[in-house]
Amino acid sequence: MSTGSPESNSPSNSPTFWNYSRSMGDYAHTLRKYQYQLACRSQAPSAHKDEADLGSKQAAEEIWARVTMNRQLLEHMDSWTEKFRNWTSETILVPLVREMELVNLQMRRLGCPELQIGVGTFEEQGILIHVFCTYFDSRLPAHPKYPNGKTFTSQHFVQTPDKPDTSNENVFCIHQSSINPPHFELVYQKHIYNLPKGRNNLYHTLLMFLYIIKTKESGMLGRVNLGLSGVNILWIFGNH
């Protein structure tokens, strides 16, 4: 049975699933808190909020138009976001929490209950970018240039105060330009795609990252296929 979609297989049994995730042990308790659930919509709309939402939508449309000329794709953004949240939870978070619980059980059996893992706090978007990068570090093949095993993170994630080299057309990365509040933008072929700020900023930035891989990189991230025969995350876009 799949975890991310009816047609995908869970990678949790892979021997390389969490090869480079030792630092994630601090987050088990909070990971349970952030397992996928539908967000509640505001019950008190206001004219000011509507204007802000409209402006944000228009800004997003302009940015997406630089990637694809089909503006109608934006109508699917809520659906893509929900599917991506579900994929993240079922493919990454649920197996991770399960593994941490097994570790804690083993520690108790060994008479070391004080060594329980799972204490930590973090912002949701900071959970998310860390587990996304760590997951893809475990899926990409080892590279001699990155002996720490962080092949994906080293190539495709830049965090302030570091800045991506926008003069290099080969740079394709997610740039965290602000820590608090967290804000992310995408760098691809010398262009910076700065999607509107807010709670969905990271999700939409990651969706654009994946959409570019699907439509402009033949579904390939380096030598790894993100389609049906590989990681199988591109199903979230359907036939679009």
- pLDDT tens for 133-144 read 999 999 999 899
How many structural domains compose the chain? 1
Q: Which residue has the higher pLDDT, 71 or 174?
A: 174
In a domain, 9, yes or no: no
pLDDT at 71: 67
Q: Which residue has the higher pLDDT, 105 or 193?
A: 193
Q: Is the pLDDT of residue 103 over 60?
A: yes
In a domain, 31, yes or no: yes
In a domain, 2, yes or no: no
Percent of the chain whose predicted confidence (pLDDT) is above 90: 38
224-225 and 183-188 strand pairing? unpaired
Q: What is the largest CA-CA distance in the chain?
A: 61
In a domain, 4, yes or no: no
pLDDT at 240: 66
Of 20-34, 129-143, 158-172, minimum mean pLDDT range: 20-34
pLDDT digits (tens, 9 = 90+) for 37-85: 444 444 444 444 444 454 577 888 888 888 876 767 778 888 999 999 8
Average pLDDT, the chain: 76
3-state secondary structure of 49: helix
Range of the domain at 135: 21-36+45-237
Residue 226 contacts residue 233 (beta carbons within 8 Å) = yes
In a domain, 12, yes or no: no
Range 59-73 burial, b when 16+ CB lie within 10 A, else e: ebeebbeebbeeeeb
Q: What is the pTM of this model?
A: 0.68
pLDDT at 13: 41
Residue 95 contacts residue 2 (beta carbons within 8 Å) = no
pLDDT digits (tens, 9 = 90+) for 5-29: 434 444 444 434 444 344 444 444 5
Q: What distance in Å separates the CA atoms of residue 168 and residue 190, rounded to the nearest whole number?
A: 6
In a domain, 133, yes or no: yes
pLDDT at 5: 43
In a domain, 16, yes or no: no
In a domain, 5, yes or no: no
